[in-house]
Amino acid sequence: MDLNVIILGCRQNERQSQERLYRAYFPTMMSMCMRYMSDREIAARIVNDGFLKIFSRIDTFENKGSFEGWMRRIIFRCLSDTLRKESTYLKFLVFEDKDAGYKSEALSRLYEEDLLKLVDQIPSASAEVFLLYAVEGFSHKEIASKKNISIGTSKWHLSDARKKLRDLIRKTDTSTNAG
What is the mean pLDDT of each successive set of 10 residues along the chain, which is 179 residues long? 89 95 94 80 92 94 84 84 61 47 48 72 89 74 90 93 84 62
**Distance (Å, whole) CA 8 – CA 128:** 39
Residue ending a domain, among 86, 118, 135, is: 86
Best CA proximity match to 146, nearest among 129, 159, 161, 127:
129
Question: Are 151 and 112 members of one domain?
Answer: yes
Question: Are 22 and 47 members of one domain?
Answer: yes
Question: Are 65 and 122 members of one domain?
Answer: no
Residue ending a domain, among 86, 114, 136, is: 86
Burial of residue 3 (number of CB atoms within 10 Å: 0-12, 13-18, 19+): middle
Question: Are 98 and 168 members of one domain?
Answer: yes
What is the per-residue pLDDT for 81? 76
**Distance (Å, whole) CA 109 – CA 92:** 13
Tell me if 159 sits within 8 A of 170, measured CB to CB: no
Question: Are 10 and 82 members of one domain?
Answer: yes
Give the pLDDT confidence of 91-130 residue by residue, as tens digits.
445 554 444 444 445 554 555 567 777 888 899 899 888 8
- Please give the tally of structural domains in the chain: 2
Tell me if 117 sits within 8 A of 35, measured CB to CB: no
Question: Are 57 and 95 members of one domain?
Answer: no
Q: What's this model's pTM, rounded to 2 decimal places?
A: 0.53
Question: Are 134 and 97 members of one domain?
Answer: yes
List, in order, residues 6 or more apart from 43 with CB less than 8 Å away.
30, 33, 34, 37
Please give the C-alpha separations between residue 59 and each of 7, 8, 16, 23, in angstroms, as whole numbers.
9, 9, 17, 20
SS3 174: helix
Tell me if 114 sits within 8 A of 107, measured CB to CB: no
Question: Are 21 and 43 members of one domain?
Answer: yes
CATH code, 152: 1.10.10.10
Q: What percent of the chain has pLDDT over 70?
A: 75
**Distance (Å, whole) CA 38 – CA 36:** 7
Instruction: State which residues form the domain around 141.
Output: 90-178
